[in-house]
Structure 1
Amino acid sequence: MLYEVQFLSYNQRDQVQGWIYVPAAKPKGIVQLVHGFGEHSRRYLKMIVQYLDADYIVAADDHVGHGKTAIVNNNSWGDWGDKGFHTMMEDEHSLHDLVVEKYPDLPYFLYGHSMGSFIVRDYMSKYGDELAGATICGTTGVWPDLEKGIQILEQDVAEHKGNESDPEAANALMGWMFARCPEGVKLGNEWICSDPNVQYDHANDPFDAFTKPTTNRAFLYFAQMMEYISSVDWAKKVPTSLPIYNIAGDQDPVGQYGSGIYQVANWLIDTGHDVTTKLYPGYRHEIHNYKDIQDEVVAGIIDFMNDHC
């Protein structure tokens, strides 16, 4: 069974497009899937089906400025509105409330990949006591040159260029991420996965905004989101009762090739949290899209949820 839902974004401008996938069997829990920067939730259809087969309801949406929310509903590709970096997190909470209204009294989990993991970490610091567990996949520690990128973007916004797109800021924030891609930069997304088929599919997806301009204001919110979650002060706001599964590839630049993943784990451990960390050696950012390990990755997430149902 599939429900399509829409709700007003926290930005008070956009109608967010979401979906609730319901298994045929009696559900044992709910997992809300939070996609990453520039993509959309239907890139995770294989994972969604695996969750359904494991008897979990799956909730997912396309963020403001992304996917169907941007292209079909609001004509706002790359534009997140003007209500600040918590916008996507608050939208995920709105979706949570819609799902819980339909299906109350079930254990509720979050799964977030890449920027989705940043959103999940933001969510955990405010609404973590509503969750049975959270999986963060391909997350970040302290992002290189983050302060420099923020300064450039703040100046752009102050100069009334918030709705433009500054390539200097994008390069300052993300230009270093191709250092371990021996195939070179052809499509501009090589760091996500070494499989050229995944790269091609990602770059040519009509609902994927990754290779399209993002406004300076939205990029600033993206950077501020990372700034908010990048210290032990963030971890202190997360309930210690919340179990966390922290996974990534050790050749993922977003996770600083493993060091950022362990940085996040150590912030959480040092503040008394139950966190399990797993790195997949030799793999880049989208570990769930490598054919040889994708089933293992999802099985690990399902095992984690089953353990905490």
Structure 2
Amino acid sequence: MLHEVSFPSYNKRDEVQGWIYVPAAKPKGIVQIIHGFGEHSRRYLHMIVSFMDAGYIVAADDHVGHGKTAIVNDAWGDWGDAGFRTMMEDEHTLKELVCEKYPNLPYFLFGHSMGSFITRDYAAKYGDDLAGITICGTTGTFRGAAETAELLKKTCEDGHGTESNPEFTGALMGWMGERCGEITIGNEWICADPYVQRDHADDPFDAFTRPTSNRSLYDFTQMMEAIKGTQWAQKVPKTLSIYNIGGDQDPVGEYGKGIYEVSNWLCDTGHQVTTKVYSGYRHEIHNYAAIKNEVEAGIIAFMDGVLG
């Protein structure tokens, strides 16, 4: 069964578009998928089906400025002016909506890339309401983010927040293909599979080829600032189960270093975290044909283990 839902965004401008996928079986829990920068939630259909087959209800939405939400509100790449926690608060609204329909079930989050940043910030504020989280393709200290943030902040203060300057995107992310050989599309860092690259680039619901406003890009840097160090980790409930996964050729995770950096922040503050790094794989480990079933099985085993 599929529910299509719509709800007001935290930015007080947009209507967020979401979906609740329900298996044809008695559900044992709920997992909310939180997608990354420049993409949309239906890129996770393979994972959604796997989670449903394992007995989980799956919830997902398209963030403001992304996917169907951007189309409905005519706001590609513009996240509104309510600040960097807009998407996190929208995910909390979706959770409340899902729990009204399906109460009293253990609730998990899976967040990839920017979705992992949102998940980590969510856990620091609302973690007591969760059974566990999976963070995939996350970042530790993101290279160049602090310097680019200062430039973006000044640009926004000078009245250019709703404009889009490509040089800022280049400064923040332009280095990420450094280990990918010849760059022809610009997204080679997500996955070595050229079919995945082309599918991502040509997807009409993706924001990959669309500009992001300076204000929204600044908010993106502030998402990363909010989840740095033990000062973030100590806000996460000690009882929350955490699974941290990624590829060691992923520039977002600084080729494995950032993944372990996050796990170490959590361990230093008394948390139990399971970490798995897939050797030889780039950012979207869940989109490699060779390992996507293994990746999904690992997430399911993590969630089942929490329940069991």
TM-score (normalised: structure 2): 0.99
Matching residue of 2:198? 200
Matching residue of 2:159? 160
Q: Shift of the alpha carbon at 1:167? A: 1.7
Taking every aligned residue pair, what percent have the same amino acid on both sides?
A: 68
Matching residue of 1:278? 276
Q: Contact 1:11 / 1:83 at 8 angstroms: preserved in 2?
A: yes
**Distance in 2, Cα, partners of 1:131 & 1:96:** 10
**Distance in 2, Cα, partners of 1:186 & 1:137:** 26
Root-mean-square deviation over aligned CA pairs: 0.6
Matching residue of 1:38? 38
Matching residue of 1:76? 75
Matching residue of 1:48? 48
Matching residue of 2:148? 149
Matching residue of 1:105? 104
Q: Contact 1:188 / 1:211 at 8 angstroms: preserved in 2?
A: no
Q: Among residues 179, 189, 192, which one is paired with 1:191 in the alignment?
A: 189
Task: Give the counterpart letter for 1:305 in structure 2.
Answer: M
Q: Shift of the alpha carbon at 1:231? A: 1.4
Superposed CA offset, 1:267-295 (max 9, x none) = 00000111000000000000000000000
**Distance in 2, Cα, partners of 1:211 & 1:173:** 16
Q: Secondary structure at the residue paired with 1:256?
A: coil
Q: Which structure 2 residues correspond to residues 87-236 of structure 1 after superposition, within 5 A? A: 87-182=86-181, 184-236=182-234
Q: Shift of the alpha carbon at 1:211? A: 2.2
Matching residue of 1:3? 3
**Distance in 1, Cα, partners of 2:117 & 2:246:** 14
**Distance in 2, Cα, partners of 1:267 & 1:246:** 12
Q: Contact 1:34 / 1:117 at 8 angstroms: preserved in 2?
A: yes
Matching residue of 1:246? 244
Superposed CA offset, 1:237-276 (max 9, x none) = 0000001000000000000000000000000000011100
Q: Shift of the alpha carbon at 1:149? A: 0.6
**Distance in 2, Cα, partners of 1:297 & 1:307:** 15
**Distance in 2, Cα, partners of 1:59 & 1:222:** 23
Q: Shift of the alpha carbon at 1:230? A: 1.5
| Structure 2, unpaired ranges of 5+ | none
**Distance in 2, Cα, partners of 1:94 & 1:122:** 15
Q: Among residues 283, 292, 295, which one is paired with 2:293 in the alignment?
A: 295
Q: Shift of the alpha carbon at 1:212? A: 1.2
Matching residue of 2:263? 265
Q: Secondary structure at the residue paired with 1:17?
A: strand
Q: Shift of the alpha carbon at 1:77? A: 0.3
Q: Shift of the alpha carbon at 1:59? A: 0.2
**Distance in 2, Cα, partners of 1:116 & 1:211:** 19
